[in-house]
Amino acid sequence: MNHFDVIVIGAGVIGSSVAFHLARLGAGRVLVLDRTQVGAGTTSQSSGILRTHYSVIENVELALSSWQVFKHFAEYVGDPEASAGLVQCGYLIASPDGPKIDALRSALDGQRAMGITVQELDAAQATALLPIARFDDAALIGFEPEAGFADAYLTATGFARAARRLGVKIIEGVEVQQLLHEQGRVTGVDTSQGRFDSPVVVSTQNIWARDIERWTGIASPVNAERHTVLALQGPQPYTYRMPVYKDLGSPGMLYCRSYGGTQMLVSEGIAGHTLPAPDNEQGEISMDHVVDVGLQVADRFPSFDSAGLAASWTGVYDVTPDWNPVLGRLPDMQGLVVGYGFSGHGFKLSPGVGRVLAQEALGLPTDVPLAPYALERFRSGRLLTGRYGVGAVS
Ligand SMILES: Cc1cc2nc3c(=O)[nH]c(=O)nc-3n(C[C@H](O)[C@H](O)[C@H](O)COP(=O)(O)OP(=O)(O)OC[C@H]3O[C@@H](n4cnc5c(N)ncnc54)[C@H](O)[C@@H]3O)c2cc1C
């Protein structure tokens, strides 16, 4: 009764996607365990931006396959009532002359080479799309018209509901306390509600992935890093028609998007505050930080000089040394598959990652090669470092 073909630890947007894809691929008896609730981890804190713009080409492929799912979410999960909350407003990214321009140019080339529609705009064209911003200093402006943002919590619950309809058992409020293994082979998990047996376990534990190190002795190079998100009410609305905007010229590499159809959601795209232990509770937001980000916003969006702070919250990234995830099987522990270290950009990859992790767990060929994402890269030095340097744009 407590025996399953696959157990998934974690029901964030990644674990829920894995569970759905396992069921779709005919995995048999699948169990998902989460210590809290579906989507209640860092997924609930996501800014939700979707783009295929990456300087790491492997990520472009995963983002592209994921984008097809976001566009047809209800149909894909087979549930007419499901929605990912997609707003297809486009993604604008601009750089002045300086250190980021080569990365931007090569990322746009990479996207084009993969058949993705991207345009290079002049300042007047960019202003027509985002009239509340100024582009007088931009030396290169890229625009991805298909991109936008969606709702990570809705997506997680949509995947979870579809998985349940396909027979997956999801139990909330259960903590996995130990991975059980014998002679280098997974046999199940021990939890706050007893033991569950399975020859295959998929860990999608995000900032809590250090558990794997404790349970197996295999290193999990991931840190919990807290970031702050602000919602600003400006004198002019940031509407749903206006594109997401990435400002490579700002000190904080800001990203902005519409929030609720009138406000601006804004956050810095650089390293955040490393926490001593994984914790996704709300953290302190200093007035100095609000002022610092507010000044950067006002520099780019002049009328936001008089904007008010409508809301603010913190969220935690699971950051690896190269700001890219670890995906796939772990050496020395047969039956264990992991997906962690999304470093602030995992939502846009979640459908594609869920599918490849499910394929890997079932011993099927994966849609994209997982070798570049292997844990081994931190030993061999073949890192997946993006050309933008530290930060979730990757
Ligand atoms: C502020 C912020 C902004 C972001 N913006 C974007 C964005 O614009 N675009 C984008 O693509 N990505 C973005 N991201 C990243 C994206 O949201 C995450 O990569 C993604 O949601 C992570 O999903 P997950 O399933 O890996 O993790 P989580 O949602 O954290 O799920 C992990 C789950 O595992 C469970 N768990 C862990 N350990 C155990 C255990 N021992 N037993 C039982 N359960 C356990 C937890 O309870 C949790 O529910 C952002 C993230 C943050 C924080």
Torsion sign, CA atoms 368, 343, 38, 335: positive
The pLDDT of residue 389: 84
Banded model confidence at residue 13, pLDDT cuts 50, 70, 90: very high
Judged against a pLDDT cut of 90, whether residue 102 lies above it is answered with yes
What confidence tens digit (pLDDT) does each residue in 287-314 have? 999 999 999 999 999 999 999 999 999 9
The encoded tokens of residue 374 equal 């292997």
The pLDDT of residue 269: 95
User: Comparing C-alpha atoms, which of 114, 122, 158, 170 is closest to residue 143?
Assistant: 122
What confidence tens digit (pLDDT) does each residue in 266-292 have? 999 999 999 999 999 999 999 999 999
The encoded tokens of residue 207 equal 């900032």
What's the rounded mean pLDDT across residues 310-332?
A: 97
The encoded tokens of residue 39 equal 């989507």
Judged against a pLDDT cut of 90, whether residue 1 lies above it is answered with no
Whether 170 is in the pocket of ligand 1, judged by its Cβ within 6 Å, is no
Residue 263 C-alpha to ligand 1 middle, in angstroms?
24
Whether 221 is in the pocket of ligand 1, judged by its Cβ within 6 Å, is no
User: Comparing C-alpha atoms, which of 132, 129, 131, 157 is closest to residue 145?
Assistant: 129
List the beta strands (DSSP E) in the chain: 6-9, 30-34, 49-50, 91-95, 119-120, 140-144, 148-149, 169-172, 176-182, 185-191, 194-197, 201-203, 223-233, 244-247, 255-259, 263-267, 273-274, 308-319, 326-329, 336-340
Banded model confidence at residue 390, pLDDT cuts 50, 70, 90: confident
User: CB under 8 Å to 217, separation ≥6 — which residues?
Assistant: none
Contact 209, 338 (CB under 8 A): yes
Whether 14 is in the pocket of ligand 1, judged by its Cβ within 6 Å, is yes
User: CB under 8 Å to 94, separation ≥6 — which residues?
Assistant: 126, 135, 138, 140, 141, 142, 245, 246, 247, 248, 249
Banded model confidence at residue 59, pLDDT cuts 50, 70, 90: very high
Whether 228 is in the pocket of ligand 1, judged by its Cβ within 6 Å, is no
The encoded tokens of residue 50 equal 């979707």
C-alpha gyration radius of the chain: 21
Judged against a pLDDT cut of 80, whether residue 167 lies above it is answered with yes
Whether 323 is in the pocket of ligand 1, judged by its Cβ within 6 Å, is no
Report angle CA 174, 175, 177 to the nearest 5 degrees: 140
Banded model confidence at residue 341, pLDDT cuts 50, 70, 90: very high
What confidence tens digit (pLDDT) does each residue in 197-246 have? 999 999 999 999 999 999 999 999 999 999 999 999 999 999 999 999 99
Banded model confidence at residue 392, pLDDT cuts 50, 70, 90: confident
Pairing relationship of beta strands 244-247 and 6-9 according to DSSP bridges: unpaired
pTM of the model: 0.98
Helices 57-71 + 101-113 axis angle, to 10:
60
CB crowding 109-125: b at 16 or more within 10 Å, else e: ebbeeeebebeebeeee
> In a 3-state reduction of DSSP, which class is residue 327?
strand
Q: What percent of the chain has pLDDT over 70?
A: 100
Mean pLDDT taken over the chain: 97
The pLDDT of residue 55: 93
175: number of Cβ within 10 Å: 16
What confidence tens digit (pLDDT) does each residue in 146-165 have? 999 999 999 999 999 999 99
What confidence tens digit (pLDDT) does each residue in 126-149 have? 999 999 999 999 999 999 999 999
